[in-house]
Amino acid sequence: MLTIRISFEKRAEAAYISLLDLQRVFHRILKRSGLPVYYTQGFNPHIYLSFNCPLSLGQESICESCEVKTADENADLNAWQDALQPYMPHGIRILHIGPAQRKSTEIQAAEYELTLPPAGLEAVEAYNRSPQVLVEKKTKRGRRELDLKTWLPALQAEPLAGGGCKVTVRLPCAAGEGDNLNPALLLASFAPCGVQPWQCEILRTRLFTADGSEFR
């Protein structure tokens, strides 16, 4: 049995496809393609399909991936890409299809590019001046108060020609057990400076394993 990783970008209006709907989309596309994917056994067989560190709704990414299995050990993966891409909704583009080399449970961090409005420069300066930046995170066990400075001691803003700025951050993003920090928490901390989340863009660019290497 071969595990195949499908790497893709999720942008534009596709950012508003929820994980549940994305699973339905891929199930339908895989069925329609006729590719030799593995189905689970039992009374209600379905395609084995697993997504790695799914995004929050409204966020974009150029490093998404999911995994399927096939009994065809000599699968022509170029043909797989040609078979799947025509059925993909606008905003989802397949970047690469290949055998999974590393386990998704090795993912420990994600890098994001945050595009902020003009008030973002002031917000970044205020963040850097503050000894603490406390935010509230919702969890299955309730609410937790976190200090973002634990993971992001300082921010660097890159001014943009049309106004505003771009900030690159790396945050915990564990595929298995471990901490996960949504970059929306950082954007929420900018509200006192007049930066509203709807004015900002979040783009996930890379995933990393515990040893600092890029997950592919």
Q: With b meaning 16 or more CB within 10 Å and e meaning fewer, what string describes 84-105?
A: beeeeeebbeeeebeebeeebe
Q: How far is CA 73 from the centre of its chain?
A: 29
Lookup: tokens for 87:
């059925």
The reply to whether 27 and 81 lie within a common domain is yes
The reply to whether 25 and 117 lie within a common domain is no
Check: CB of residue 39 under 8 Å from CB of residue 49.
no
The reply to whether 155 and 63 lie within a common domain is no
If one counts the domains in the chain, the total is: 2
Give domain status of residue 52, yes or no: yes
* Angstrom distance (rounded) from CA 205 to CA 173: 13
* Helix, strand and coil in the chain, % to nearest 5: 30, 35, 35
* Angstrom distance (rounded) from CA 19 to CA 118: 32
Query: Which pLDDT score is estimated for 77?
Result: 87
Last residue of a domain, which of 44, 78, 101? 101
Segments forming the whole domain that contains residue 10: 2-101
The reply to whether 192 and 126 lie within a common domain is yes
The reply to whether 157 and 83 lie within a common domain is no
The reply to whether 72 and 120 lie within a common domain is no
Residue at token pair 């994305």 = 22
pLDDT in tens, the chain (216 residues): 889 999 999 999 999 999 999 999 999 999 999 899 988 887 888 889 999 998 999 999 999 999 999 888 788 888 999 999 999 999 999 999 999 988 889 999 999 999 999 999 999 999 999 999 999 888 777 788 999 999 999 999 999 998 899 999 999 997 655 678 999 999 999 999 999 989 999 999 999 998 989 998
Give domain status of residue 185, yes or no: yes
- 3-state SS class at 192: helix
| Distances 106 to 9, 69, 112, 215 between C-alpha atoms, Å | 20, 19, 18, 8
CATH of the domain at 39: 3.30.70.580
Last residue of a domain, which of 101, 122, 138? 101
Give domain status of residue 115, yes or no: yes
Last residue of a domain, which of 71, 101, 131? 101
Give domain status of residue 215, yes or no: no
The reply to whether 89 and 135 lie within a common domain is no
The reply to whether 133 and 77 lie within a common domain is no
**Phi and psi angles of residue 75, each rounded to the nearest 5 degrees, phi first:** -60, 135
Give domain status of residue 83, yes or no: yes
Burial label for 183, CB within 10 Å (0-12, 13-18, 19+), is buried
The reply to whether 35 and 118 lie within a common domain is no
Give domain status of residue 182, yes or no: yes
The reply to whether 74 and 162 lie within a common domain is no
The reply to whether 153 and 72 lie within a common domain is no
* Angstrom distance (rounded) from CA 47 to CA 27: 7
Nearest CA-CA partner of 122 in 111, 130, 112: 130
